[in-house]
Structures are given as structure tokens and as C-alpha cells.
Amino acid sequence: MKSEIENGILKKYESEAACVTLPDGVIEIGDRIFSGCDSLESVVLPQGVQKIGVGAFLWCVNLTDIALPNGLKEIGASAFDSCYKLQSITIPDSVIEIGDRAFLCCNSLKSVVLPQGVQEIGDQAFIQCENLTEVTLPDSLRKIGANAFADCEKLSSITIPDSVTEIEEGAFENCTGLADITLPNGLRKIGDAAFAKCEMLRSITIPDGVTEIGKRVFDSCTNLTDVTLPNRLRKIGESTFIDCQKLSSITIPDSVTEIGKDAFRLCGNLTNITLPSGLKKIGASVFECCEKLSTITIPDGVTAIGKKAFFGCASLTDVTLPDSLKKIGNDAFLNMNFGTLPVTIHAPKGSYAEQYAEENGFAYREN
């Protein structure tokens, strides 16, 4: 065994031993000190250690046991990245920072309890922990980083404390077993694809503090049936509910002014949707291939409907369009299987919508 300690920082440690006990006096494990030590199975850290450096135990593929000492404050980026056999870890109450990718690909890790004091979970901190089933988050937590729990396929439920204000992009993406999640009242931001491909998720309530839902947030949540949107929501982003195959109805609050492209595309069971009175624009392909949607009323104030907005809506028979409408994109009401749909357009006399109906072969009725 050969080691080098400088000002309390472990700078070098050479050993082929399976079990390692570090000496007293070490306050920091230097960056990548044990990186790639495939013989290492267990480590005992002295009580004085306050920081585990970047990649300190990266690729220690046979590490199964490590006791983190009380007094530890920081777990650096990639500290335990790809420690495939690490089954459990107790993070002491003194820890306030968990770095990016800290436990990435810890495939055997089954449960994690984060202590009070942790305010932020780093990006990809627990990504691809494919056997992780239980996570306890502290009341001190403010932010869940990008892809923090992505690809944790066996995680079935999680309670996010009221202290959390931000859930970053992809935080729970592809958590295919996640069926139950409660979003906190203090939440302000939901990042792009935060819950994309959570195939078992059945219901979600977005709290009132959220004013914008990012892109692909619930993309391919194929069992999602119940969605409650907040009254202060202003924008539904691109592809937010794309391919939510069991979503049959949704009420969009009047505060929403914009629905991004593809927002409800491939929602094949969507039969009932109420568009808000404050809406100004409907993006391209918003309701494309919503095959069971039979009627739609576009509220007054909408000036543009994007191309293919209702493309492939095979059951659509009645569309009510407002006088405010100035533009309808190509193939907005085209049935991809049978050409132009037998749609009746209801619109004011002399409106752009009446002209559109006549020029494109739709039946027209004055409203």
C-alpha cells in the first residue's frame, strides 16, 4: 500500500486490497483517487472526511460497501459513477451537496434516503439506477436536477416535498414504473420531458404556481387519463401530451394563450376538450391524429391555426371557427386516409373562415 496525503487531502492511494481503511487525518478524498480500482470491495472512511472528490470511486465496479462518515458535506460529481454492485448507501445528515452523476449507473442500488440539509440534487445524480425502488427526499430540497432520476425503471412512487420549486428537464424521464407522484404546492418550473415515457403514470395535478409547461413533459405517458391544469397556466409547450393514448378529456384554463405544436398529437382517445377563451394561437399538428375527436370550438381571439392542426382526426364532423381567425395552415382539417373530411365549418358570415370553407370544399353554416 502506498498513499500520499497533503494538507489533509488524499492525493494518491495505491493498493490491490479488496478492503481499504483510510487513515485518520484525511479530510478530503481527492479527485479520481480510486477510479477504476476493480479489486476494491469495501472502504472505511475516517470521521474527519468532509468531501469526496470528483470521480473518487468512478468505475469501482466491485465496490459493495462504503460507510460515509458524519461530518461529510460534499459528494462530488461522478463520485460513485458506475459502481455497479453498490446496493445501499447511507448519506449522513451533514451532506448539503450531491454532485452531477454522483451515483450514475449504480445498477444494484435499491434505496436512497437523502438527509435534511440537501438543497439540490445534481444533474444525472441517480440516472440509470435501474433497480432503485425507494427514494426519500428531504424538506430542505429546492431543486431536482436534469435527468436526476431518469431511467430508474423500477421506481414506482415518489413524494416530492413542498420545498421543491424546480424540476429540471428529464428529471424522471423513462421511469417506466412510476405510477404515483405528487407535485408540491411550491413548484414553479417543470422542465422539458420531466416525466416523458412514464408509462404507468395515470393521473397528475399541476400546482397553481406553475405558469408554463415545457416541451414533451408528459410525452408517451400512455396510461395517463386524468390531468388537472392550474388556473394561472399561460402556455402548454410543444409535444407536452403527445402520444398520451388513454387521455380522453382535458379542460384547459382560460389563462392559457398558447398551445405549442404537437401538444396533443396521437392522443387517439381524446373525445372532449375545451379550449380557453384567452387562446390566441393553435400550433401545427396540435391535435393531429386525435381520431375520436368529433367536434371542436375555436374561441374568439384565435388568429391562426397551424398546419395539420387537426390532420387525421377521422371522427371530426363539426368545427366552429371565430371571426378573429386570419390564417389556417395547410392540411389543417385533412383526413390522411380519405382526403378532405366531411367537416362542417360553422363561422360568421363574411369571415375568413367562411372563405376558407368555400375554397377548400367544406360544408359551411353561418353561426
Q: Which residues pair with 347 in a beta bridge?
A: 366
Residue 335's pLDDT band, with cuts at 50, 70 and 90, is: confident
- pLDDT per residue as tens digits for the range 117-140: 999 999 999 999 999 999 999 999
Q: Is 359 exposed, middle or buried (0-12, 13-18, 19+ CB in 10 A)?
A: exposed
Domain regions of the chain by residue span:
1-109
On average, the pLDDT of the chain sits at: 94
- For residue 323, what are the CA distances in angstroms to 18, 33, 275, 347? 77, 70, 16, 7
Burial 9-26 (b: 16+ CB within 10 A, else e): bbeebeeeeeebebeeeb
C-alpha cell read off for 234: 399561460
Interatomic CA distance for residues 277 and 217, integer angstroms: 24
> What CATH number is given for 1-109 in this structure?
3.80.10.10
Per-residue pLDDT at 15: 87
Chain centre to alpha carbon of residue 165:
14
Residue 338 pLDDT > 80, yes or no? no
Instruction: Looking at the chain, list the stretches that DSSP marks H as alpha helix, in order from N- to C-terminal side.
Output: 352-359
- pLDDT per residue as tens digits for the range 76-119: 999 999 999 999 899 999 999 999 999 999 999 999 999 999 99
What global pTM score does this model have?
A: 0.93
Residue 337 pLDDT > 70, yes or no? no
Interatomic CA distance for residues 165 and 163, integer angstroms: 6
Interatomic CA distance for residues 35 and 59, integer angstroms: 6
Interatomic CA distance for residues 238 and 322, integer angstroms: 24
Per-residue pLDDT at 3: 82
- pLDDT per residue as tens digits for the range 212-255: 999 999 999 999 999 999 999 999 999 999 999 999 999 999 99
- pLDDT per residue as tens digits for the range 8-65: 999 999 888 999 999 999 999 999 999 999 999 999 999 999 999 999 999 999 999 9
